[in-house]
Amino acid sequence: MSFSVNTGANRIAGKGRLSPSKTVTFTLDGRQLNAMEGDTLASAMLANGIHLAGRSFKYHRPRGILGAGAEEPSALMDISRDNARRQPNVRATVQEVFDGMKAKTQNHYPSLTFDVGAVNNWFSPFFSAGFYYKTFMWPKQAWKNLYEPFIREAAGLGKAPEEADPDHYANRYAHCDLLIVGGGASGLMAAKTAAKSGKRIILADESASMGGWLLAESEATIGGRPAGEWVTETVAELAAMENVTLLPRTTAFGYYAHNMVALAERVTDHRSRPDPDLPRERLWQVRAKKVILATGAIERHLVFADNDRPGIMLASAARMYLNHYGVAVGRNVGIYTACDSAWAAAFDLQNAGVKVTAIIDMRAAPDPDLVEKAREMGIPVRTGSAVTKTAGKMRIRSMTVEPIADPLSEKFEIDCLLVSGGWTPSVHLFSQSRGKLKFDEENGRFVPDIHVEDCASIGSCNGTDDMDTALAEAVAAATAAVSGRAVKAPKTSGFASMRGHLIGSAKGAGPDDHVMAFIDFQNDVCAKDVRLAVREGMHSIEHVKRYTTTGMATDQGKMSNMHGLAIAAEALGKEIPAVGLTTFRAPYTPVTFGAIVNHSKGDLFDVTRRTPMHSWAEEHGAVFEDVGNWKRAWYFPRAGEDMHAAVARECKTTREAAGIFDASTLGKIEVVGPDAVKFMELMYTNPWQKLAVGMCRYGIMCREDGFIYDDGVVGRISEDRFHVTTTTGGAPRVLNMMEDYLQTEFPEWKVWLTSTSEQWAVIGVQGPKAREIVEPLVEGIDLSLEAMPHMAIREGKICGVPTRLMRVSFTGELGFEINVPADYGRAVWDAIWERGEPLGMAPYGTEAMHVMRAEKGFIIVGQDTDGTVTPQDAGVGWAVGKKKADFVGIRGLTRPDLVAEGRRQLIGLRTKDPKVVLEEGAQIVADPNQPVPMKMLGFVTSSYWSETLGHSIALALVEGGFGRKGDTLYVPMENETIAVEVCDTIFLDKEGARLNV
Amino acid sequence: MLLIHCPYCEEERPELEFRGAGEAHIARPANMAEISDADFEKFFFIRDNEKGVVYERWRHIHGCGRFFNAARHSVSDKFIMTYKAGEKKPKITKTQIDAVKPPAKGTPANEPVWTVGGKGEAK
């Protein structure tokens, strides 16, 4: 059974390259439409006679489809498969239709044809350039309650989806000898030439079909073959070659240093039922030895009064819709041009049976051959004339034409107006690569000048309009790129001339300040806005751009930049090159966050580091906190306990019986070698020569400027071996600094540094019962006070596993830190737990650890210090070796400001009301009644409730703090002022009696 | 993203593997404790920050882990050469600078010749 589906009344039988037998069905604002496979949403709409594609951003003016490619500023649609798979602001000219696609027009309420926002159009005189800066100035309070909510509601184009994106995205790194960007005539020719060398070639093109503007040709030939067939054959030939990777639907959006080019490949957006194993998009990061840019050119519109009505579109687009998609864009078509190429659109349309009402060429004497051909075909021609007015609300209905030198006007009834202001070379990528442009005065365009990267621009992006020349250029560039043998470029025929241009406003678009002659369709910027910006003092093009927002929409002004620049230059009375061009930036077209993020989401967003005992903590109900990449057990709540209660109990249990703590995240570095002690002397402020083997010392590390960089306990395992611990977050930077000194300042020293952070699991057992718990499990180490005093380190076995057992304490209690190989961490922990639990031991988390160390006045680098704190400031000046000749920071510490009076020093604070717990970060003043702004003396660095002491405790950095012991200071908060007394940083067991057992 | 030639691995590797480490050829004074405030200021705080050729330290932190030095043009970002830590500060010739410096304004248009960049070796 055969049947035919109506894919639109404006399809012209026999035209185009799509197959009428392959059809798809989609909806547009709920209305069901048919299309052919390979149609873009734009071509499918036009086939169905629909030009109206949405409302504009600022004035809510009805807007149509302007182009046929990536430059489209106007026809932005909301495309969805389902609720989650929905994307706003998709260019209808790029989106291929697929079965079941739902397309919606945007920026209107309640409907596309009746939109209340359109009142903005009537108020347009008030929405001039710089409107936001001028209008929302005062009163100040109105910002929060009135202006901002209003602007937020009105701002933005399209609505973002609310559900998480269920699709997945991929990433690929690729290397090649030659990357060719753009699969038009020049790009294909370059690929065909270079491919023969056998070198690795990637050819990327943003469209579904390679061929570029060749697809818009009907009569033209390359090498004697019709252009379309030459494309098909060339693509087939390249596809069959193993050294060539063809990437259609792939936009090169960023050109970075050393020929690194980022590509975004749309893999499944055109498929009705995408294979779930395929990514929706794929990011390519290509490092190419050579790059050939064959990015083509983009046609410009013309700037004249009411140039934005639906039905007004680019002449080149109309040709593409006709010759590739088989779609006539109208039935009565007018042409308004400054460029020869638009005449080809007129001829093609007339030949396809569409009535071309008139060709209006603003040039007084266009090519006589074109004029003659139009006469022969019976198309009325008006030269030296301009379209000064258009009519038609939802679609253009008529145009008013005036000779440029004459006020006499005539009116033409039309349903479509094709415009051309000439062609703008797509120099975006070249410019991103830091290539320098030059202004081609004769043709009103910027073209590539000096290449900074290893690349070449060929064809129309290089300003080469003539097809024979472009192909010769492609062959030459490709041959040079792969050091291949020179071949001859094929001869071509029938390509339209691209001569003629206008940049800036056409007749009737000014200087009148009321005419709406649009430059930037997406941001609704008119010629008059640019003139106003210049009058108001914006003399740099970068200022004009930001003040008017021209070229700042998602299309980055691909069609509009040259017009904006020319109008600004005219208003400034300057030459265009003197005004300059705004900077081109990546991405060339919008790229989804999905493509950029690709695999780096969810579990793969970042590394999660878990200790060997993580599973135990999970099983025992720990609440975790993130510390860098680590998951650390924060506290272990029991039934009915909140954090406060859990932490209070954990502290109490540890101080009264024992606590077990996972300290595995501590950084650990093994410092080994004959010069190890010399090296330790250099890196740490402390003296190390006399540290006995088997003993530990608390070490402070400074930078050369004398500020604390890191701290930790260091154990001497043997004469030439140190077990260095660092803060959890500091391990990489400490090792980096050590490596730096060792490699670059003292390379002759015999020292080896090894990170052992992940090799040792560390189990802290703290509390009066610590020895009783650990002792029976240990072999070969005498744990008695006499044999193993505080700060001793011993090697032996625990539970049959080798251990470095340190008698250290971050709690002030008798305690051990048991280092065992990471693989045994959980097993040893389990054994200790089994023994300790009946003796009343409880696990404690990082919060209880923080409280207990603060009770003892132990600092945490990065919390109680901030990169401007010296060891003296922090109250650990005793750790600085007084007799040392050198260490990192020795000179910095004697700088005048570091030894001056009145530095911020770490002191303890007790609130007058013992129940009040200060806020960390709160500012401290001497006199709470002084006028604002108050003199701040310092701030709270650590603050906790101490269950053991029955009152709150805090540490603070306070100007001249050491001299303020006993003073009353104040912490002004939003609703109260808290009185505090300065005290010692050690709140508990100052004599260390609890340790010495 | 830059390509950086590691003089130890003798490979060009992507910038992601490296970390910059500031200006090169600033030796730590042997008599550190005795130097004057002015000398310390010069040693620790003052940097040339040249517009043009800079000598800088890099570490191949996600590779061999070695620190090395590079001569690079701070405007074009292009490397002139990289060399091992401890090697003498190389003399950079005008030809070497010309090969990496950005084109001057008003330079006449040149053909799309293949320029050479970022090989990390002295030419």
Instruction: Select from B61, B88, B114 the residue whose CB has the most chain A CBs within 10 Å, as the one to mutate to test that interface.
Output: B114
Q: Which residues of chain A neighbour B110 with C-beta distances below 8 Å?
A: 449-451
Structure-token pair, residue A185: 């005539």
**A581 touches B: beta carbon within 8 Å:** no
**A733 touches B: beta carbon within 8 Å:** no
Return d(Cα A327, Cα A311) in angstroms, integer: 14
Return all residues near A881 (Cβ < 8 A) that are at least 6 apart: A681, A685, A686, A687, A887
Q: Closest partner residue to B110 among A260, A450, A747, by Cβ?
A: A450
**A483 touches B: beta carbon within 8 Å:** no
Residue A160 has a pLDDT of 86
Return d(Cα A85, Cα A89) in angstroms, integer: 13
φ/ψ of residue A846, rounded to 5 = -65, -30
Provide the shortest C-alpha distance from residue A598 to chain B (in Å): 18
**What is A631-697 written as a DSSP string?**
EEEEE-PPTT--HHHHHHHHHHHHHHSEEEEE-TTSEEEEEESTTHHHHHHHHSSS--TTPPTTBEE
Q: Do B28 and A745 touch (CB under 8 A)?
A: yes
Return d(Cα A32, Cα A113) in angstroms, integer: 18
**A287 touches B: beta carbon within 8 Å:** yes
Provide the shortest C-alpha distance from residue B77 to chain A (in Å): 8
Name the closest residue on chain A to residue B61, using Cα atoms: A736
Residue A486 has a pLDDT of 79
B109 pLDDT tier (thresholds 50, 70, 90)? very low
Fold of A1-166: Ubiquitin-like (UB roll) (3.10.20)
Tokens 């109490």 found at:
A652
**B86 touches A: beta carbon within 8 Å:** yes
Q: Closest partner residue to B109 among A438, A480, A705, by Cβ?
A: A438
Residue A177 has a pLDDT of 97
Q: Do B2 and A704 touch (CB under 8 A)?
A: no
Name the pairing type of β-strands A170-181 and A201-204: parallel
φ/ψ of residue B93, rounded to 5 = -85, 165
Which architecture does CATH list for A665-760+778-824?
2-Layer Sandwich (3.30)
**B104 touches A: beta carbon within 8 Å:** no
Name the closest residue on chain B to residue A455, using Cα atoms: B114
**pLDDT of A640 over the 90 cut:** yes
Q: Do A287 and B28 touch (CB under 8 A)?
A: no
Name the pairing type of β-strands A332-337 and A355-361: parallel
Return all residues near A340 (Cβ < 8 A) that are at least 6 apart: A366, A367, A370, A496, A497, A498, A499, A500
Q: Closest partner residue to B85 among A451, A458, A744, by Cβ?
A: A744
Fold of A504-575: Arc Repressor Mutant, subunit A (1.10.10)
- Ordered structural domains, chain B, with CATH: 3-100 (3.30.2270.10)
Cβ neighbours of A655 (radius 10 Å): 23
Q: Do B44 and A739 touch (CB under 8 A)?
A: no
B54 pLDDT tier (thresholds 50, 70, 90)? very high
Return d(Cα A480, Cα A485) in angstroms, integer: 9
Q: Which residues of chain A neighbour B59 with C-beta distances below 8 Å?
A: 736, 739-740
Q: Which residues of chain B neighbour A681 with C-beta distances below 8 Å?
A: none
Name which of A514-518, A940-944, B99-103 the model is least confident about.
Answer: B99-103
Q: Which residues of chain A neighbour B33 with C-beta distances below 8 Å?
A: 885-886, 890-891, 894
Residue A535 has a pLDDT of 93
CATH 1.10.3720.10 assigned to domain A899-983? The reply is no
Instruction: Select from A462, A744, A746 the residue whose CB has the most chain B CBs within 10 Å, as the one to mutate to test that interface.
Output: A744
Instruction: Select from A261, A289, A452 the residue whose CB has the most chain B CBs within 10 Å, as the one to mutate to test that interface.
Output: A452
Name which of A582-586, A673-677, B62-66 the model is least confident about.
Answer: A582-586
The three state secondary structure string of A390-419 is EECCCCCCEEEEEECCCCCCEEEECCEEEE
Give the residue extent of every domain in chain A: 1-166, 170-298+425-493, 301-421, 504-575, 665-760+778-824, 899-983
Provide the shortest C-alpha distance from residue B84 to chain A (in Å): 10
pTM of the model: 0.88
Cβ neighbours of A148 (radius 10 Å): 13
Q: What average pLDDT score do residues A606-612 get?
A: 95
Residue A583 has a pLDDT of 79
Q: Closest partner residue to A454 among B109, B110, B117, by Cβ?
A: B117
Q: Which residues of chain A neighbour B40 with C-beta distances below 8 Å?
A: 891-892, 895
Q: Do A891 and B117 touch (CB under 8 A)?
A: no
ipTM, 2 dp: 0.89
Q: Do B21 and A895 touch (CB under 8 A)?
A: no
**B87 touches A: beta carbon within 8 Å:** no
Provide the shortest C-alpha distance from residue A887 to chain B (in Å): 9
Structure-token pair, residue A716: 């001497």
Q: Which residues of chain A neighbour B85 with C-beta distances below 8 Å?
A: 743-744, 747
**pLDDT of B107 over the 60 cut:** no
Provide the shortest C-alpha distance from residue B83 to chain A (in Å): 13
A1 pLDDT tier (thresholds 50, 70, 90)? very low
**B114 touches A: beta carbon within 8 Å:** yes
Q: Do B114 and A290 touch (CB under 8 A)?
A: yes
pLDDT tens readout for residues A270-327: 999 999 999 999 999 999 999 999 999 999 999 999 999 999 999 999 999 999 999 9
**pLDDT of A901 over the 60 cut:** yes
Q: In the beta sheet, which residues pair with residue A179?
A: A202, A291
Name the closest residue on chain B to residue A288, using Cα atoms: B3
A1-166 matches A504-575 in fold: no
Q: Do B109 and A457 touch (CB under 8 A)?
A: no
Return d(Cα A798, Cα A819) in angstroms, integer: 10
Name the pairing type of β-strands A436-440 and A312-314: unpaired
- The mean predicted confidence, pLDDT, of chain A is 94
Return all residues near B120 (Cβ < 8 A) that are at least 6 apart: B3, B4, B5, B7, B12, B70, B79, B81, B82
**B33 touches A: beta carbon within 8 Å:** yes
Classify domain A301-421 by CATH number. 3.50.50.60
pLDDT tens readout for residues A794-849: 999 999 999 999 999 999 999 999 999 999 999 999 999 999 999 999 999 999 99
CATH superfamily of this structure's domain A170-298+425-493: FAD/NAD(P)-binding domain (3.50.50.60)
Q: Do B3 and A287 touch (CB under 8 A)?
A: yes
Residue A484 has a pLDDT of 87
Tally A–B CB contacts below 8 A: 90
**What is A848-910 written as a DSSP string?**
HHHHHHHHTT---TTTT--SS--TTTTT-GGGS-TT-S--TTTTGGGSHHHHSTT-EEEEEEE
Q: Which residues of chain A neighbour B118 with C-beta distances below 8 Å?
A: 257-258
Q: Closest partner residue to A258 among B28, B102, B118, by Cβ?
A: B118
Q: Do A743 and B14 touch (CB under 8 A)?
A: no
Return d(Cα B52, Cα A629) in angstroms, integer: 39
**A37 touches B: beta carbon within 8 Å:** no
Q: Which residues of chain B neighbour A707 with C-beta distances below 8 Å?
A: none
Residue B76 has a pLDDT of 85
Residue B117 has a pLDDT of 35
Provide the shortest C-alpha distance from residue B96 to chain A (in Å): 15
Handedness of CA A869, A874, A876, A877 (dihedral sign): positive
Q: How far from A676 is each of A710, A712, A716, A717, B62, CA to CA, in Å?
A: 19, 17, 10, 11, 25
Q: Closest partner residue to A705 among B44, B61, B65, by Cβ?
A: B44
Instruction: Select from A450, A455, A685, A709 the residue whose CB has the most chain B CBs within 10 Å, as the one to mutate to test that interface.
Output: A450
Q: Do A477 and B112 touch (CB under 8 A)?
A: yes
B114 pLDDT tier (thresholds 50, 70, 90)? very low
Return d(Cα A872, Cα A814) in angstroms, integer: 27
**pLDDT of B110 over the 50 cut:** no
**A454 touches B: beta carbon within 8 Å:** yes
Name which of A153-167, A411-425, A560-574 the model is least confident about.
Answer: A153-167
